[in-house]
Amino acid sequence: MDQGNIVYIGRKPVMAYCLAVMTALKHEDSEVILMARGRAISKAVDVAEVVRNQFISDLVVKDISIDTEQLESEDGGMRNISNISISMAKGK
């Protein structure tokens, strides 16, 4: 898989990411990965469900992985930030 099939979820509206996912899945054997961290995790789940339920009915979730990474905060301390990776592909 190339880097073009990774969609990073951030502050844009859900439908903007849905369009990015559908564009990445325009080829028959394509796969896309949604990546989000922190508060954007719920938006990543929303994007996956909206695309799966409203636009591409044969889209299957292949893998979901969650993790926590430590990042330095503005005050110099360490914070734990959760992240999620949702791998989806068109079903055969």
Q: pTM for the complete prediction? A: 0.88
- Alpha-carbon distance 69 to 64, whole Å? 16
Tokens at residue 18, please?
């849905």
CATH number at residue 35: 3.30.110.20
- Alpha-carbon distance 41 to 64, whole Å? 12
pLDDT digits (tens, 9 = 90+) for 12-61: 999 999 999 999 998 777 899 999 999 999 999 999 999 999 999 999 99
Segments forming the whole domain that contains residue 32: 3-90
Give the largest CA-CA distance in the chain: 50
Tokens at residue 91, please?
């079903």
Number of domains in the chain: 1
| Sequence letter at residue 72 | E
